[in-house]
Chain A
Amino acid sequence: MKIIACVKQVPDSEAKVSASGGQISWGESPLVINPFDEYAVEGALLQKEAHGGTVTALCLGPESGKEALKHALAMGADEAILISDSALERLDTQSAARILAAAITRIGGVDMVMFGRQTLDDGSGLTAAQTARVLGWPMLGFVGHIELEGTGLQVTRVIEEGRQNVRAPLPAVLSIVQSIGEPRYPSFIGIRKAAKATIPMWSLADLGASAPVAIVSRTGLITPPTREIKCEVIGGDSPAAIAKTLVDKILAEKVL
């Protein structure tokens, strides 16, 4: 089983993100592996443990993306590849998908590609499905459980309405969600191994790809106004008295 886990480096979820002059900043907050991608790495490692094979962590991004790859290596991935090129400054999702698909094709012999459901930064949640479409492989989104059967797989998709069980042939692209299980912490040995690993860096030329043209582009950034409102604390002699006052106040707002 040859599995690829796609990862990205993003500002930590606790970061206070702001925009000024068209630039996004997140202060002193650290960059971390996209939390949703940790589920993809976990899902890949679980499959490797159950059926043998290798896990390759793949990142498309600036050189700082190596840190996300090292996290995946420390969790237990066998190897890591960074796709980085100065021509990749402003990527939209369809360009990213075409480049990832070219890298997956170059790696060769891949059975499964796993993504997180979306990233914490841009958060469009489109890249997995677009990569699947470029490769011409089945797309299985929001997967919380994976069983191999014969030459294919059966997965449980966790969707708005509940759970859907779906069968598909391999190779396939999956996006993995929380139900797969909590991502393991990097082991001490894993962290040492990751620190020593050399991570190959592929350029567009290595992939035989030309500089992509973005179809979707950003024209501006807005910092939404912070919601500062005065909270009226409701008191009373008993929970029932408090509840009565609060219900009257809520109904007077006429939002219901």
Chain B
Amino acid sequence: MKTLVYIDHFKTVVQPASWEALGVAKTLGTAAAIVFGTGLDEICKTAFEMGADEVLLAEDAGLVDYRAEAFASTLVSICASQSPDLILLPTTTRTREFAAMAAIDLSTGVLVDLTSLTAEGGQLKATRPIYEGKLEEQVVCSGKPVIATLRGRAFPRPARDPDRAGTPSRLPAKAESPTSVVGYEVAEQALNVSDASVVVSGGRGASNNPALTPPSGLDERGSEIWRAQQGFKLIGDLAAVLGGAVGASRAAVDGGYIPYSHQVGQTGRVIAPDLYIACGISGAIQHIVGIRSAKLVVAINKDAEAPIFRVARYGVIGDLFEVVPALSEAFKKKLGK
């Protein structure tokens, strides 16, 4: 089977699930990595080391910023010259969109956000979570090429072989798009909760420290958010010690404590970290579904009856404002930081 693997990157920082997709492609046959943009030398080198049989570059200034039409048309044009059986992409906001559009041009379908993909007798069989992860469906695509996006951390990452090398080939881009990018605002957090191996999350409990006195002049809601920010600061400190990302429950996001890009649970944000630490999160059904694939769950909550303890391996019944900073200190000592 011939697979094209789209290496997703933002300003040349690669979405790590791209390498996982490359690993899956290698188990199915030959894998050609495709990369869009400019200044791609480092990505090409890594793609060969990660196992790509070929690296195809659409090097064009018009592909530096993501624009759905330009990316979709370039993918369609590469497909016409390469005739792949399968196109694999990591699931991101970008890939969902332009893969969907390319599928319209190619009269095929997209199997989206897969957690497994196997070939049986030439037919690709895939599994994907639906209903916010409460169920999984098995799906097939009758079109060619099959287009599939893979959920991050659902597939093993290939080992890097520094001795592998190659020369990339260049392919023409089709960078026309009716849209233009005016600019960016600073990222809310460097590490995405979907990619992180450690996630430390806060919930409504993050605002629940009566010992703190908000600055004067804040109304009730302002005071609550201020309190929550003090809680999330401690959570952020612990995440930093562990090199992890900060997550949040829906209650914390709805409360305005933290931007919704941090939300865990709810559609599209089922995560699979090695370690998940839930601080002041009671554990609504969506949240519990969202962390089902975590390897180890630790919960800290004042309420011994909180449902989160039913899915946690270790629990602390206590105040996150005391336990979280103590944990940061203890990890620092043990990890020699």
Contacts and interface: CB of A to CB of B under 8 A. Distances in A.
Contacts of A215: 107-109, 141-143
B211 interface: no
B49 interface: no
Contact of A130 (B103, B177, B192, B260): B103
Given A14-B285, A120-B267, A141-B93, A162 B185 contact: yes
Given A129-B101, A239-B326, A256 B275 contact: yes
A229 B313 CA distance: 7
A222 B92 CA distance: 24
Contact of A167 (B179, B188, B317, B331): B179
B330 interface: yes
Contact of A18 (B135, B140, B141): B135
A232 interface: yes
A130 B10 CA distance: 23
Contacts of A139: 68-69, 97, 101
Contacts of A19: 135
Contact of A247 (B92, B142, B330): B330
Interface in B100-145: 100-101, 103-105, 107-113, 125, 127, 129-143
Contacts of A220: 137-138
Given A160-B10, A250-B314, A256-B275, A219 B138 contact: yes
A124 B113 contact: yes
Interface of B is mostly: mixed
B139 A216 contact: yes
Contacts of B198: 256
B134 A17 contact: yes
A142 B103 CA distance: 20
Interface string A172-194: 00000111000000000000000
Question: Interface range on chain A: under 10, 10 to 19, 20 to 34, or 35 or more?
Answer: 35 or more
Nearest to B112: A124
A126 interface: yes
A24 B137 CA distance: 11
A219 B141 CA distance: 10
Interface in A220-256: 220-224, 227-229, 231-234, 238-240, 242-244, 246-251, 253, 255-256
Contact of A126 (B72, B100, B314): B100
A133 B104 CA distance: 7
Contact of B331 (A162, A216, A247, A255): A247
Given A215-B141, A218-B138, A243 B104 contact: no
Nearest to A162: B187
Contacts of B310: 228, 231
Indicate the member of B109, B139, B197, B323 with the most A CB atoms within 10 Å. B109
Contacts of B92: 160
A3 interface: no
Contacts, number: 255
Interface in A89-148: 92-94, 97, 117-127, 129-130, 132-134, 138-142
A198 interface: no
Contacts of A217: 139-140, 142
A203 interface: no
Contact of B135 (A177, A221, A242): A221
A64 interface: no
A31 interface: no
Given A18-B135, A166-B181, A240-B326, A250 B93 contact: no
A150 to B, nearest CB: 13
Interface in B269-297: 274-275, 284-286, 288, 292, 295-296
A13 B135 contact: no
Contact of A229 (B110, B275, B311): B311
Contacts of B266: 13
Contacts of A17: 131, 134-135
Contacts of A201: none
27 contacts: A13-B266, A24-B131, A93-B100, A94-B104, A125-B96, A126-B99, A126-B100, A129-B98, A133-B100, A133-B101, A138-B179, A160-B261, A161-B10, A162-B187, A164-B65, A166-B179, A177-B260, A217-B140, A219-B139, A220-B138, A224-B135, A227-B292, A231-B309, A238-B326, A246-B327, A246-B330, A250-B298
Interface of A: 11, 13-19, 24, 36, 92-94, 97, 117-127, 129-130, 132-134, 138-142, 154, 156, 158-169, 177-179, 215-224, 227-229, 231-234, 238-240, 242-244, 246-251, 253, 255-256
Interface of B: 10-11, 65-69, 72, 92-94, 96-101, 103-105, 107-113, 125, 127, 129-143, 177-188, 192, 197-198, 242, 253, 260-261, 266-268, 274-275, 284-286, 288, 292, 295-296, 298-299, 309-318, 322-323, 325-327, 329-331, 334
Given A179-B260, A249-B314, 5 more contacts: A217-B140, A221-B137, A233-B314, A239-B325, A243-B329
